Amino acid sequence: MENTNFLLQFLHLLAGIGIFLTGCEMMSNNLEAVCSDKLRELLAKVSNNKIIGVLIGTLATIAINSSGATTVMTIGFVNAHIISLKQAATIIFGGEIGTTLTGQLVALGMMGNDGIDMNFLFSSLAGLGVFITMFAKKDKVKLFGSVLTGLGLLFAGLDVMSSAMTGFAQSPALREMIARLDSSLLIIICGAILTAIIQSSTAITSISISMVAVGLINISQGIYLTLGANVGTCLTGMLAGMKSAEVNAKRTSLMQLIFNIGGVVLVYFIDLFMKVFTKGGLSFGILFERMFPGLPHTQLAMFHTIFNIASVVIVLPLTESLVALSERLIKDEGPEQKKERFYFVNEDIISTPSIAVEQIKQEIVNMANIAIQNFNISMDMLKTLEFTRQDELNDNEAELNFLNKELVELVVALGQSKKLNKKDSRYLSSTYKTIADLERIGDYAQNLASYARELNDERFNDVIVSELEITRRLIDQLYLLVIDAYKHDRRKISKQIKDLSDNIHAISNIMVKKYIKRLNENELSAVSSGEYLKICNDTKRISEHLVNLIDTDYMLNH
């Protein structure tokens, strides 16, 4: 019978964890969808002021209720070269402070008396949120309703977990077994492993608070479980950083790991020192019991908050040293880097669409740089009939083909996310055509190189070379304007771009007419004539594909 009760309580606990994690995920996803634009702007405006960086990291984590998501976002910005390693470190520090809010809410939910059950009161938000979502007309109001539903489910799951913990606490055998678990190091390891499995330090911290509240574990055991959760939460950042091709992304994830492990090691040895050398064997558990008597849930929640804040206060002056250490441990890559790879995109970032969209935009700009580089290499070949850069041209073309395929697949996967807001969704829908246009520019560049080879040492005369050089300069100028507009949504220069494109077409047509006149006057050979006409046609096509980058519904209505 006792075994049956234990199994029922365990299933009860699993149900609570499921509801709790669902609530966390729903709240986090919808908060991110609501705040994505502001969050992106907030993280991108990190200054060199360390305090500002910590505040931004704290606010960002509170806004989306996930320090893991903040870490992945930060790695994304480092990947895109928007922020420095030093700035990334301060954001991560702030994320560790922001993540303590959920623990405080959990502790608050466990307060109350015979008249008011705070947990029950907060759980009712789930129903309110559902009604708002069902009857609201505006998308933002519906998202707000979903946030409330997630918050309510979080507390409903907590209530179910607490009920299961109460059942466990009534088992003398289980209580005796847990009481024997006095190895603080083992408890830390258990907390880290559980967090790595669930991928939510919030869940492990909340479960620990519930266990302390019902007396299943003591405050000291709860503290060490929470410390273990702080280590385990680094897994998300480590996966995002280590899978990235960008060396600074790896350094960012390493800094988080060093910071969290360093804080845990410091507390572990301070606690050990107090137990050995203070009168009565003082410990952090005893200290917080005295600070918040009769409130075990508050004791653990306050330890979590004070520990994370204290860790940031201690490490913040050492930020530069932490950055330097990460740079020493992870060396810069050599000048030769593997081709056919993403330069800015981290595929794990799909879980954080607001940052993934920014990375995809950076990758598209990088793709445009490669395409226009190939155009210029090919134009040099036409001018000099020297092919020393042929391997570079081929490598770039392989990279363009890779990006054309892989970026589209990534955009398709990202487009299925429920976290996307309408603006980001509209932008993603425009990227399919943009990527195709850039791949076509690369193809035309390859055509130009092939025309140079077909000339068979029959060089163009100086007049024709100067005309081709004029076309090249105009296309390069058009490219700079288009990329500026694409990156910064500068619609004011759209007319300037159109005028320049029209000018390229007009000049190309004039060049063709002049060329045909020279051909009729027998000034040119048939071989060079055929190639020249193809060049004029392909350069016009390149200018059209460049203009297409901003000639989309997204860019016009952004």
CATH of the domain at 470: 1.20.58.220
| Mean pLDDT for all residues in the chain | 79
Tell me which residue of 468, 496, 469, 466 sits closest to 480, measured CA to CA.
496
Give residue-wise pLDDT tens across range 496-520: 777 777 778 777 777 777 767 666 6
Residues 258 and 320 in one domain: yes
Residue 489, pLDDT above cutoff 60? yes
Residue 408 resides in a domain: yes
Tell me which residue of 263, 254, 324, 316 sits closest to 52, measured CA to CA.
316
Least confident of 81-95, 346-360, 444-458, 474-488: 346-360
| pLDDT-derived band at 546, boundaries 50, 70, 90 | confident
**Who has greater pLDDT, 130 or 3?**
130
Residue 1: predicted pLDDT: 41
Q: Is 113 left (phi over 0), alpha (psi -120 to 50) or beta?
A: beta
- Show which of 295, 329, 363 is a domain's final residue: 329
The CB density around residue 538, as the number of other CB atoms within 10 Å, is 21
Residues 311 and 369 in one domain: no
- Show which of 329, 357, 373 is a domain's final residue: 329
Least confident of 150-154, 175-179, 204-208, 357-361: 175-179
Find the mean pLDDT for residues 340-355: 68
Residues 379 and 503 in one domain: yes
Residue 516 resides in a domain: yes
Residues 262 and 399 in one domain: no
The vertex-95 CA angle with 81 and 21, nearest 5°, equals 115
- Angstrom distance (rounded) from CA 258 to CA 318: 12
Residue 377: predicted pLDDT: 93
Give residue-wise pLDDT tens across range 104-144: 888 877 765 544 456 667 778 888 888 888 888 777 788 77
- Coil, strand, or helix at residue 112? strand
Residues 313 and 361 in one domain: no
- Show which of 329, 362, 394 is a domain's final residue: 329
Residue 551: predicted pLDDT: 65
Give residue-wise pLDDT tens across range 210-227: 888 878 888 888 899 899
200's CB contacts (< 8 A; 6+ apart) are 21, 24, 68, 233
Least confident of 126-140, 280-294, 304-318, 350-364: 350-364
Beta bridge partners of 117: 112
Give residue-wise pLDDT tens across range 239-288: 666 655 567 778 888 888 899 899 899 998 998 888 888 777 788 888 99
Residues 410 and 298 in one domain: no
Residue 439: predicted pLDDT: 92
Identify the domain containing residue 480 by its residue range.
Answer: 347-557
Residue 113: predicted pLDDT: 52
- Output phi, psi for 112, to 5 deg: 135, 175
Residue 59: predicted pLDDT: 83
- Output phi, psi for 48, to 5 deg: -80, 0
Residue 378 resides in a domain: yes
Residues 378 and 257 in one domain: no
Find the mean pLDDT for residues 335-364: 70
Residues 299 and 386 in one domain: no
- Output phi, psi for 117, to 5 deg: -105, 105
Residue 36: predicted pLDDT: 60
Residues 397 and 319 in one domain: no
Residues 236 and 383 in one domain: no
